[in-house]
Structure 1
Amino acid sequence: MDDSVVTAVQQRLVNQYQRMLSQVETIASNNDVEAVHRYRVSLRKSRCLLAIFADELANTPAATLAASFKQQAHVSNAVRDIDVFIAAVDIPMIIDYLLQQRLLLQQQLRQRLGDLQRERQLCLSCLLLPWPTTAVTLSAAVATQLQQLQQRSIAASKLAVSTGKDKHWHKLRLLIKAQRYLIELCLDNHHSDASLWQQRLGEFNDNCNQLQFLTDLPLQPKRLQRQLRKLTKRLKQQKKQQKRELTVLVEQELTKKDAFGLKLKNSS
């Protein structure tokens, strides 16, 4: 039986939020990089569902939860960004510096997670309360949203190519990710064929975050400054190349009849 979209989405939100909660203790007790990643992924999927089905969830606590989930995700941004940076850097002096910064950021994250304990309890209570349902079924809502996301992805890709602005490439990344999450969370036994786009746009986003991190760094000793300048130059060159490659990929994709319609694969 096809559930009401509200009932189905609420159940998926509960599952994702409980997965996130299971990572909080791990983050609090050790420096597990993957625990931070899993914490963020669960919140990201939850926020994605809330955004996609905002209209269908209008008479529920969805808007309040979305604001809280954003806050809970934000506290982990700095730690995750530096984790990705450490994995990408091959200069020992910079790696040592980043590891020192990571310890400080990890301490801040633990403190902020502790401050949000009451917030998490309230969110879980809201998720477990009965929500008013609607006659719209999950399958009907998913079909509509996939079509809309595809059209928005086409428009975003054209804008990214024409302007070359980072924010438009990031918008395309988020739209493709929304399609992928929608398929994987709401279509049983299916997953999306989004690996190429996910990899390329993800690498571009990581590069942008790393350049911003370097821009925001306080003044460092001269020896380290030289290494940081070299790294910044290399990242800027990589970013230009990534944009060129993404432009070619978009132009190729737009020639297809079903452009930016992620292919479904049966996982059973």
Structure 2
Amino acid sequence: MTLTCSWQLPTSLNRDTVLSALPSGMTAAPKSTQEVRVSVLDDDQWHICQRGDLLLYNHQDSRLELWQQQQRLAQETRPLTIRFHWQLNDPALAKLLQARLGVRAFTEKFTSEWQQHHLSVYNSDDKIIVRLTFTTLNSVSRELLSLLTIQPLRGYAKEARQLCRSLKKLGATPCDQLTPLQLLTLSGLNVPLPRHRPPFNLHDDEVTAVAIMRMVGQIVEQARAQEEGLIADIDSEFLHQYRVQLRKARSLVSLFKKDLPEPAFHQLKSSLKELSQHTNLLRDLDVFLLDHDHYLTMLPESLRPGLEQACRHIHRLRKRTWQKVITALDSADHRDKMDEINQAMTAPRLQPRGKKLKQRVDHHIVRQHRHICTSVSTLSTSCSDDAIHQLRIECKKLRYLLELFAELYPRKPLKVLTRELKALQETLGRFNDFTVQHQFLHQLAGELRDSDQKSSLNALSALLYQAQKQEKKQVFSILSTFDCDETTSRVHQLLAYGEPS
């Protein structure tokens, strides 16, 4: 086994000085010189880097590489304009990035340049015994760093140790192995810590209206934090998260309407609804385009060209719709809505009303769980899709209560209750996805004039309707195993924590 080691050279020590000090019997010959320019690619949240991996783009040969520590997992030659895993040709790299990023785009986060000189060291028998790599780069402080990597060939570890002793006498200091991550870190790469939602700093006894308004304010700010990425059209997740945050804010306002001053409630309800509505079509288009490849596999070969033509039409429609959304986000009306939300949130501080926070949250958790159990007991296989949709909404409200007010409850019983609801929520979510896309495609097909496109979309809509019917069966399979008595017991256990004995 050979051992590679790296050294940092003092500023007074250049390459020629090192080579002139080689131990007796060793000579060096240049092999190659490289000008390296590398970019770190990642998503908005730095998910790849935060797990210790690196997605690198080598500008010299247009190569995309995924690294894990010192191992290159996969690579592909592609232009830098590629931003999504499904645009890659190499299935291994695409699969690895899908697992790390999902639907998020990878974009340039950091770029560095360095120069490398590769040399071979020969012994007196004219055999290569060691390979040297001199690296020079600008450090984070903009000082020029000189680094040397020594890689002995098998059987020549003794000669490598001789060379290391010579370097130490010259004033060189050992450093960490020069992996891509180490070189980039020396160049100034600073991976941020994972982003966590800031706590709401809730207290059991605080006035409910004050707490709710503070929470709504933070959630709306989290929605607004997505606007920059939405406007830049980096990936569809910015819009999705924008809508999720607004849904949470609307859910809070709706659930706690009796605790809020009436003018503030009506103002928030109206403004938050309007902010959400103008993104509905864009989200439907995004969902369709994200599922495009899967939809192609669902259709027979003869109908796929029509779907591809329809997709080009949908891409154009999406671009126009996105333009309308970003125009709306930059409008005076949007700014007015934000001002109205801010004004409404000052009301409870002037006239606080309502019971203590935890009492009200406990009440709503029990109430939402009761709604779910009532729906589960009354639904039948002949029920309408709207009835299933309503059950999904009730489950989502309970999930938001458990998620947003987690600070008020101990983690273990909260986690158990959430886990028991998860399977039901996921199944209801899939049913809703099929329903929405079926309706969306049916409506879109009616607007198209091209017969091939219309036929393909109608066929796909019919297939999604069949998938929706199958998922409806799965919904009732899950409902048959959903034990309301058991979850009621879980709710009571959760609420019992922290109560006086």
Shift in CA distance, 20/255, structure 1 to aligned 2, threshold 3 Å: closer
Aligned residue number for residue 223 of structure 1: 452
Q: After superposition, where does 1:58-97 map in structure 2 within 5 Å? A: 58-59=261-262, 61-90=264-293, 91=296, 93=308, 94-97=310-313
Matching residue's letter, 2:254? A
| 1:235 partner SS | helix
After superposition, residues 165-184 of structure 1 pair within 5 angstroms as: 165-184=384-403
| Distance in structure 1 (CA, Å) of the matches to 2:379 and 2:324 | 35
Deviation for aligned residue 1:221? 1.3
Mapped partners of 1:137, 1:163: distance in 2: 42
AA at the equivalent of 2:334: L
Whether 2:222 is the aligned partner of 1:19: answer yes
Distance change >3 Å, CA 159–CA 85, structure 1 → 2: farther
Which residue of 356, 362, 385 corresponds with 1:143? 362
- Pick aligned residue for 1:210 from 424, 431, 437: 437
The one-letter amino acid of 1:16's match is: I
Q: What are the ranges of 5 or more consecutive residues in structure 1 without an aligned counterpart? A: none
Q: Which string of whole-angstrom CA distances, capped at 9 and with x for unpartnered residues, describes residues 25-56 of structure 1?
A: 33223353111111111110001011111111
Report the CA distance between 1:135 and its aligned residue. 5.4
Residue number in structure 1 paired with 2:162: none
TM-score relative to the length of structure 1: 0.89
- How far apart, in 1, do the equivalents of 2:378 and 2:281 lie? 29
How has the CA–CA distance of structure 1 residues 256 and 207 changed in structure 2, closer, same or farther, with 3 Å as cutoff?
Answer: same
Question: Per the alignment, do residues 233 and 245 of structure 1 end up closer, same or farther by CA in structure 2, a change over 3 Å counting?
Answer: same
More strand by share: 2
Contact residue 31 and residue 106 of structure 1 kept, 8 A:
no
Q: 1:224 corresponds to which letter in structure 2?
A: Q
Give the match for residue 251 of structure 1: 480
Change (3 A) 1:156 1:261: farther
Q: Say which is worse superposed, 52-61 or 71-80, in terms of deviation.
A: 52-61
- Cα deviation 1:227-262 (Å, max 9, x = unaligned): 212211210110100111101111221464336967
Q: C-alpha offsets along residues 205-233 of structure 1, whole Å, 9 cap, x if unaligned?
A: 11111111122220231222222122112
Does 2:207 correspond to 1:4?
Answer: yes
Instruction: Give the 3 Å change call, closer, same or farther, for CA 135–214 of structure 1 in structure 2.
Output: closer
User: What amino acid is the match of 2:468?
Assistant: K
Q: How many Å separate the matches in 1 of 2:489 and 2:281? A: 31
Counterpart AA for 2:249: S
Q: Deviations over 1:95-142 (max 9, x none)?
A: 433322211211121223324222112212322452522351111111
The secondary structure found in structure 2 opposite 1:168 is helix
Q: Pick the structure with more helix per residue.
A: 1
Q: Distance in 2 between matches of 1:72 and 1:255?
A: 36
CA distance in 1, matches of 2:314, 2:490: 39
Q: Which residue of 2 aligns with 1:101?
A: 317
Q: What is the DSSP-based 3-state SS (H/G/I as helix, E as strand, rest coil) of the residue aligned with 2:290?
A: helix
TM-score relative to the length of structure 2: 0.49
CA, structure 1 residues 195+250, in 2 after alignment: closer, same or farther (shift >3 Å)? same
TM superposition outliers: structure 1 runs of 4+ over 6 Å: 260-264
- The alpha-carbon distance between structure 1 residues 89 and 52, as it changes in their structure 2 partners (threshold 3 A), is same
**What root-mean-square deviation, in Å, do the aligned CA atoms of Structure 1 and Structure 2 show?**
2.4
Q: Per-residue deviation at 1:77?
A: 0.9
Q: Percent identity?
A: 24
